[in-house]
């Protein structure tokens, strides 16, 4: 089976039922996506498949159609993504465990809605849980990232 992840093509000898998250973490040693719940409810495992956010814990590798992008590849060689910069600026993380999934969902939101309202943010981020409760900081960071992109 061939899988393109973060721009690299990988040849894998695995069962098609294996969840994408396990392929990323255990087979390809890509540790950005996290295991949270295993039932696609928390969002910690969020990655993009052809630009769309998906929960990698419940997506079988045999069902993946398109290129997979993880948080490990959203920044350029020497520059953070605007969302990552905003996350730092707004001091979003506390424990940090859910942040890769939160960031991947925010990146997809800003790609589709460059200047989101609070309602847009709430809708796009509703499937990403944060046990530390940093939702106000997450919203502030998304608005900050939107302003960075608009001003750029």
**Rounded CA separation 124/74 (Å):** 18
Paired strand residues for 53: 48
Domains, the chain, ordered by start: 2-73 (3.10.20.30), 82-151 (1.10.150.120)
pLDDT tens per residue, the chain (152 residues)? 999 999 999 999 999 999 999 999 999 999 999 999 999 999 999 999 999 999 999 999 999 999 999 999 999 878 999 999 999 999 999 999 999 999 999 999 999 999 999 999 999 999 999 999 999 999 999 999 999 875 54
Residue 92 and residue 138 in contact, taking contact as beta carbons nearer than 8 Å: yes
Please tell me the pTM assigned to this model: 0.94
Helix locations, the chain, DSSP H: 20-22, 82-89, 99-112, 118-125, 135-151
User: Which two three-digit tokens encode residue 140?
Assistant: 């502030």
């Amino acid at each position: 089976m061939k899988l393109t992840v973060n721009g690299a093509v990988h040849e894998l000898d695995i069962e098609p039922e294996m969840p994408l998250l396990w392929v990323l973490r255990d087979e390809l040693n890509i540790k950005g996506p996290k295991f949270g719940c295993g039932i696609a409810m928390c969002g910690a495992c969020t990655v993009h498949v052809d630009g769309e956010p998906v929960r990698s814990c419940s997506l079988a590798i045999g069902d993946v159609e398109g290129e997979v992008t993880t948080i490990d590849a959203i920044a350029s060689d020497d520059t953070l993504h605007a969302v990552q910069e905003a996350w730092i600026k707004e001091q979003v993380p506390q424990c940090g465990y859910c942040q890769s999934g939160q960031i991947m969902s925010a990146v997809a939101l800003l790609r589709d809605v460059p200047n989101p309202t609070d309602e847009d943010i709430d809708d796009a981020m509703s499937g990403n849980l944060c046990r530390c409760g940093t939702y106000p900081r997450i919203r502030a960071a998304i608005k900050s990232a939107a302003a960075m992109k608009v001003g750029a």
